[in-house]
């Protein structure tokens, strides 16, 4: 059964539509993520789920209960939804213990103490109860904000760019820890972010939004390897779109040669297409017959990301270990490592 279900949800201000016909669901215990560039409507959608924004069309249901529609709006405090904000929003005058206990302050003292101590242990901050927020690092404050949101055991937890103020290394490690904690607590959660690495570290299901529309709702693996829209392919990972043509034997002729895959639709012989080529689809192999010239490179620590120019002037991206460095202008061999093809109609990506 879906714990969270959105059906044709729209949110707008006057004549401006911010969220446009969004439909997706999360099962109980799943972690979802909404990805997209700034201004795409993902935070507005999160606020509508929390009950802070009314919907102009569609339905939002929690555990089978209608909580939002144009005719009905359940107040936020009656939804059983927790929220973690970008700025942590801890109470500076309260101790860590008091911050975490804030949402359960009406429970008996012994129950409060047991729950707070359990959560502080879960987030790796056992014994930090007497401290104040200003005595904690940014990562520690984020853990306390999460513990406070989890204390009342919400049926749904919403997280709005919770790691954006932290450095990159801490963001990724904390995202992994948060996923572990949510799974231990059995909490269904929905995260909003523009950082795909956070999404990959946290989410069971993820979606890419653009101009208010949800382009694809899938597993993170599906978004990367089987994007259904060119904007999803562009936003998730890196790659290039190469022009090609489907041959009579359902292969794709490109500047990289003849590409073979089970993803070529029957009946499409002769059609022009654009093929998504990721850096991990191409291996630099000095012994390969297919040649290209390195025109740019970027150091990524464990590897270099190279831009290689083919004979027709088109470019592809490829990676190689940083232990084996190629110079700009150097001629290299390219070997294909494609195990499936991602195709879009030719010109579709230019619209």
Helix (H, G, I), strand (E, B) or coil at 337: coil
Could you tell me how many residues make up the chain?
A: 351
SS3 state at 339 = coil
The structural architecture, per CATH, of the domain 2-234 is 3-Layer(aba) Sandwich (3.40)
- 260 pLDDT higher than 90: no
Distance CA 340, CA 256 (A): 15
83-118: b or e for each residue (b if 16 or more CB lie within 10 Å)?
A: bbebebebeeeebbbbbbbbbbeeeeeeebeebbee
Strand, helix or coil for residue 297 = strand
Minimal CA–CA distance to 332: which of 300, 303, 296? 296
Chain segment 120-149, per-residue pLDDT in tens: 998 889 999 999 999 999 889 988 998 999
Residue 348: per-residue pLDDT: 61
Of the ranges 10-19, 164-173, 279-288, which one carries the lowest mean pLDDT score?
164-173
Helices (DSSP H) in 104-229: which residue ranges? 109-122, 138-150, 168-185, 196-202, 220-225
What's the angle, vertex CA 337, arms to CA 329 and CA 218, rounded to 5? 115
Listed range (136-150, 201-215, 252-266) with the worst mean pLDDT: 252-266
Closest CA to 171 of 148, 150, 200, 151: 200
pTM of the predicted protein model = 0.87
pLDDT of residue 349: 55
Averaged pLDDT of the chain: 91
CATH code 2.40.50.140 region(s) in the chain: 238-345
Query: pLDDT at residue 313 above 50?
Result: yes
- Predicted confidence at residue 351, as pLDDT, reads 42
- Tokens representing 160 are 């709005």
The string of pLDDT tens digits covering residues 22-54 is 999 999 999 999 999 989 999 999 999 999 999
Q: Domain 238-345 is of which CATH architecture?
A: Beta Barrel (2.40)
> Where in the chain do CATH 3.40.50.300 domains reside?
2-234
pLDDT of 258 strictly over 60: yes
- The pLDDT tens digits for 237-256 are 889 999 999 998 888 999 99
Answer whether 72's CB lies under 8 Å from 91's CB.
no
CA-closest candidate to residue 62, choices 76, 49, 47: 49
Instruction: Quick: pLDDT tens for 91-122.
Output: 999 999 999 999 999 999 999 999 999 999 98
User: Per-residue pLDDT for 292 more than 60?
Assistant: yes
The CA-based diameter of the chain, rounded to the nearest angstrom, is: 75
């Amino acid at each position: 059964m879906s714990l969270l279900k959105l059906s044709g949800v729209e949110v707008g201000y006057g004549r401006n539509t911010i969220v446009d016909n969004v439909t997706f669901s999360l099962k109980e215990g799943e972690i979802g993520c909404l990805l997209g560039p700034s201004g795409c409507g993902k935070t507005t959608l999160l606020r509508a789920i929390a009950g802070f924004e009314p919907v102009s069309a569609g339905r939002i249901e929690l555990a089978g209960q209608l909580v939002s529609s144009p005719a009905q709006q359940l107040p936020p405090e009656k939804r059983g939804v927790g929220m973690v904000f970008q700025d942590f929003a801890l109470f500076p005058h309260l101790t860590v213990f008091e911050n975490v206990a804030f949402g359960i302050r009406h429970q008996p003292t012994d129950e409060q103490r047991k729950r707070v101590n359990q959560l502080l242990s879960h987030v790796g901050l056992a014994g930090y109860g007497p401290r104040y927020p200003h005595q904690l690092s940014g990562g520690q404050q984020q853990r306390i904000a999460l513990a406070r949101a989890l204390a009342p055991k919400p049926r749904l937890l919403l997280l709005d760019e919770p790691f954006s103020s932290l450095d990159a290394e801490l963001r990724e490690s904390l995202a992994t820890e948060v996923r572990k904690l949510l799974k231990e607590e059995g909490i269904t959660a929905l995260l909003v972010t523009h950082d795909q690495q956070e999404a990959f570290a946290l989410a069971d299901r993820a979606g890419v939004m653009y101009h208010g529309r949800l382009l694809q709702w899938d597993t993170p693996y599906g978004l990367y390897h089987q994007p259904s829209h060119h904007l999803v392919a562009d936003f998730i990972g890196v790659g290039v779109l190469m022009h090609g043509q489907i041959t009579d034997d359902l292969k794709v002729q490109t500047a990289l040669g003849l590409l073979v895959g089970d993803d070529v639709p029957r009946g499409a012989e002769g059609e022009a297409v654009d093929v998504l080529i990721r850096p991990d689809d191409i291996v630099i192999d000095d012994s390969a017959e297919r040649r290209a010239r390195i025109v740019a490179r970027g150091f990524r620590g464990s590897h270099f990301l190279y831009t290689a120019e083919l004979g027709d002037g088109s470019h592809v991206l490829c990676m190689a270990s940083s232990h084996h460095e190629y110079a700009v202008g150097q001629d290299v061999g390219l070997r294909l490592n494609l195990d499936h093809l991602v195709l879009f109609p030719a010109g579709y990506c230019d619209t």
